[in-house]
Amino acid sequence: MRRIDKGGQPAAWLRFRKQKPRPRFDECPKEAKEALRAALLAEQGHLCCYCMRRIRDEFRGMKIEHWAPRGAHPELDYANLLAACLGGEGQAAQQQHCDTAKGDRPISLDPRSPDCERRVRFTPRGEAVATDRDDRRATEDLSLLNLNLPRLRAARAAVLEEVHRWATQKGTSRTRRQLEERVVALETPDGRGRLQSFVGVATAWLRRQAEKR
């Protein structure tokens, strides 16, 4: 999981929210909803807030996630909204993940908090696990989000293999500066504001290696 820094809400979304004291999401006009989706994607580098996969279709390939469940928090606060992938929507329950698997249930892992990166680590096999074995809530949340589906684990393992190959290219060991520069490069969006899928997996590994130098 990668920390998301929330920005300011788009003007069209703000106008919609100000129309009435308690606006409903299903009342949101197309212009406001498209502005909301664009803003969420931009601040997340077009990555899903949970699995960090690239959201490739900006308006049909994403869901608007209410981190604090909408049933208990219907205020439509922009700070509570995130962009999530479709998460296997329409597939069997065991194949669903992220917001689709989470549904309207609360979790403690919060992509808006620095703690989300500290509480989750990735094994060389691509498994997402709680950093602290006693952090039962993190373990439960990872299970609820179903972030260890075989295809997600395999994709993360491939990213780790690639960054490890770069770090040990030609049998040499990269310097701390080189590792840190690689992190900056990976965290820099492309010309369309997009980051690479699972970038948080690669940067977490690079930062740990840099700390050892």
Could you report the per-residue pLDDT of 178-208, keeping only the tens digit for each?
Answer: 999 999 999 999 999 999 999 999 999 999 9
CA 75 distance to own-chain centroid: 23
Position 21 confidence tier, pLDDT thresholds 50, 70, 90: confident
Q: Is residue 100 part of a domain?
A: yes
Q: Is residue 4 part of a domain?
A: no
For the stretch 135-184, pLDDT in tens is 999 999 999 999 999 999 999 999 999 999 999 987 778 999 999 999 99
Q: Is residue 162 part of a domain?
A: yes
Tell me which residue has tokens 């074995």: 133
Q: Is residue 5 part of a domain?
A: no
Q: Is residue 1 part of a domain?
A: no
pLDDT of residue 193: 95
Question: Would the CA dihedral through 145, 150, 152, 154 be positive or negative?
Answer: positive
Position 61 confidence tier, pLDDT thresholds 50, 70, 90: confident
Q: Tell me the residue range of the domain where 69 lies.
A: 11-212
Q: Is residue 6 part of a domain?
A: no
pLDDT of residue 59: 66
Average pLDDT, the chain: 93
Provide the domain count of the chain: 1
* Global confidence as pTM: 0.93
For the stretch 78-115, pLDDT in tens is 999 999 999 999 999 999 999 999 999 999 999 999 89
Q: Is residue 91 part of a domain?
A: yes
